Amino acid sequence: MIETWLEGKEVCVCAGSGGVGKTSISAAVALGMAARGKKVAVLTIDPARRLAHALGLDELDGEAHRVDAPVEGELWAMMLDPKRTFDDLVAQHAPDERARDAVLSNRIYLELSNAVAGSQEYMAMEKLHELHREGRYDLLVLDTPPTRNALDFLDAPRKLAAFIDSPSLQLLSAPSTLGLKLLGRGTGVLFSGLRRATGVDLLEDLSEFFRSFGGMVEGFRERAQEVNALLADDRSTFVLVTSPREDAVDEAIFFHRRLEEAGLPFAGAIANRVRTSVPAHRDGLAAEMEAALGPDLARKVLRTWGEERVLARRDRAALGRLRRRLDGAPMIEVPRLDDDVHDLDGLGLLDEHLFRAAQRGRRRSDGR
């Protein structure tokens, strides 16, 4: 099924809230597409150690590594280092070494590149853009950072560009006294207010930042626009990963709305860790189990069975709610496995559900 979503696509962004198995799904999608002859790279941030090991990622070095997997195409994996991406970008756009070092050691820059909301997400997109432009892969699969909101990256390029672009701030890149004169008396109030409110004398850092950053602003703005354009392009698509947990479904619904508002291409949702539908209870089951297993074990099995049915109904209800809110967009269900996925075999188990789910999924929902 998912191969039809990804037909003709070069970029697949997997998004969703934390704890839904997004990294495993991203890796399984990449592996599956590689198995179908594509040259695929999966970009991830901080995957589980064992999964990282399976993908040949023992260190965070920001480089793509070929994964030793028996596939027709090629599978590459890469662990993103957002701070390093930002640093590389600065180095690339800096007119000379002095300007580069001035920016890299500037306090404003350090804060911007490390902690400002959205910059990490944005750098993931930036790396995506860079790899896309290099054109070494047929398909790039991005596992988005596990932010609480999971959506910040949609705004990040715009925020970053706005920050860099702010005309009053840019005046500071002029020699500071001139800048201050141009900004007028208001600036004095602004900075003394800022000092009183934050305890940080930012003026010096800021003017230094904009002086050294001045020459790079144009390059950064262009890149931000290119990244935005790439995400909106019909060669890209967003896949929403969720689980049947209520809060994850809420986030997925919210996320879907945000994608629509932003006019970004949406392929469909993947519901992970779903208890697959269970047949109805039947009279005589208890007697049958008891005859086969003895009273003690039969009682335990029936109890487990009863609980499983309750939880499966809850999963169905939650996914029904999601399906209604997706306005007809397709949804793939991946059943809950007995153990969490952390190696290539585990990813292989997911493959069957991600790539061949169409018929079965439809029959199941029609039959109810």
Partner 1 sequence: MDSLLDKRLVLVTGKGGVGRTTVATALGLAAARRGRRVVVCEVGDQQRLPAMLGEVSANGAEQELRPGLFGVTVDPERTKEEWLRYQLKSGTLAGMLGGSRVFQYLTAAAPGLTELVTMGKIWDLAQLERRTEGAVYDLAIVDAPATGHGLAMLRAPSTYAGVARVGPIRRQALIIDEFVRDPDTTGVLAVALPEEIPVNETIDLEERLRDELGVNLHATVLNSVHPQRFSADDARRLEALGEKGSKEARAAGRAALSEFRRARAERAQGRRLRRATRARVITLPHLFEPEIGPDQLERLSRVLERRL
For partner 1, the closer of residues 237 and 242 by Cβ is: 242
Question: To the nearest whole angstrom, how small is the minimum distance from the Cβ of residue 125 to partner 1?
Answer: 19
Calculate the alpha carbon distances from 239 to 91, 130, 277 in Å. 33, 21, 23
Q: Which of 19, 37, 95, 295 binds partner 1 (CB under 8 A)?
A: 19
Instruction: Please list every residue from 125 through 184 that binds partner 1, using CB under 8 A.
Output: 146, 148-149, 163, 166, 168-169
Q: Which of 58, 61, 68, 111 binds partner 1 (CB under 8 A)?
A: 111
Regarding 269 and contact with partner 1 (CB under 8 A), the answer is no
Q: Are 10 and 330 in contact (CB under 8 A)?
A: no
SS3 content of the chain, % helix, strand, coil (to 5): 60, 10, 30
CA dihedral 276, 240, 10, 7 (to 10 degrees): 40
Regarding 297 and contact with partner 1 (CB under 8 A), the answer is yes
Question: To the nearest whole angstrom, how small is the minimum distance from the Cβ of residue 20 to partner 1?
Answer: 7
Single out the residue of 357, 319, 155, 299 nearest to residue 240, CA to CA.
319
Regarding 63 and contact with partner 1 (CB under 8 A), the answer is no
Question: To the nearest whole angstrom, how small is the minimum distance from the Cβ of residue 279 to partner 1?
Answer: 6
For partner 1, the closer of residues 147 and 230 by Cβ is: 147
Single out the residue of 312, 306, 322 nearest to residue 256, CA to CA.
322
Question: To the nearest whole angstrom, how small is the minimum distance from the Cβ of residue 315 to partner 1?
Answer: 9
Regarding 342 and contact with partner 1 (CB under 8 A), the answer is yes
Cβ count within 10 A of residue 365: 15
90: which residues sit within 8 A by CB, 6+ positions away?
Answer: 100, 103, 104, 109, 216
**Which stretch, 25-33, 34-42, 107-115, 214-222, contacts partner 1 (CB under 8 A)?**
107-115
For partner 1, the closer of residues 173 and 237 by Cβ is: 173
Regarding 307 and contact with partner 1 (CB under 8 A), the answer is yes
Question: To the nearest whole angstrom, how small is the minimum distance from the Cβ of residue 346 to partner 1?
Answer: 10
139: which residues sit within 8 A by CB, 6+ positions away?
Answer: 6, 9, 10, 11, 12, 30, 33, 38, 39, 40, 41
Regarding 102 and contact with partner 1 (CB under 8 A), the answer is no
Q: Which of 281, 324, 360, 362 binds partner 1 (CB under 8 A)?
A: 281
Calculate Rg over the CA atoms of the chain: 25
Q: Which of 285, 295, 324, 362 binds partner 1 (CB under 8 A)?
A: 285
Instruction: Please list every residue from 176 through 235 that binds partner 1, using CB under 8 A.
Output: 189-190, 193-202, 206
Regarding 270 and contact with partner 1 (CB under 8 A), the answer is no
Regarding 302 and contact with partner 1 (CB under 8 A), the answer is yes
Single out the residue of 84, 146, 160 nearest to residue 118, CA to CA.
160
Q: Which of 96, 97, 115, 367 binds partner 1 (CB under 8 A)?
A: 115
DSSP state of 64: E
Give the N- to C-terminal CA distance of the chain in Å, as an integer: 21
Q: How many residues bind partner 1 (CB under 8 A)?
A: 71
**Which stretch, 19-27, 56-64, 134-142, 210-218, contacts partner 1 (CB under 8 A)?**
19-27
Calculate the alpha carbon distances from 330 to 1, 347, 358 in Å. 9, 22, 9
Question: To the nearest whole angstrom, how small is the minimum distance from the Cβ of residue 179 to partner 1?
Answer: 12
Q: Which of 311, 326, 329, 349 binds partner 1 (CB under 8 A)?
A: 311
* 239 to 258: interface string for partner 1, x by CB under 8 A: ----x-xxxx----------
Regarding 17 and contact with partner 1 (CB under 8 A), the answer is yes
Q: Are 6 and 267 in contact (CB under 8 A)?
A: yes
Calculate the alpha carbon distances from 137 to 58, 89, 146 in Å. 22, 21, 25
**Which stretch, 47-55, 131-139, 224-232, 324-332, contacts partner 1 (CB under 8 A)?**
47-55
The C-alpha atoms of residue 355 and residue 195 are separated, in whole angstroms, by: 57
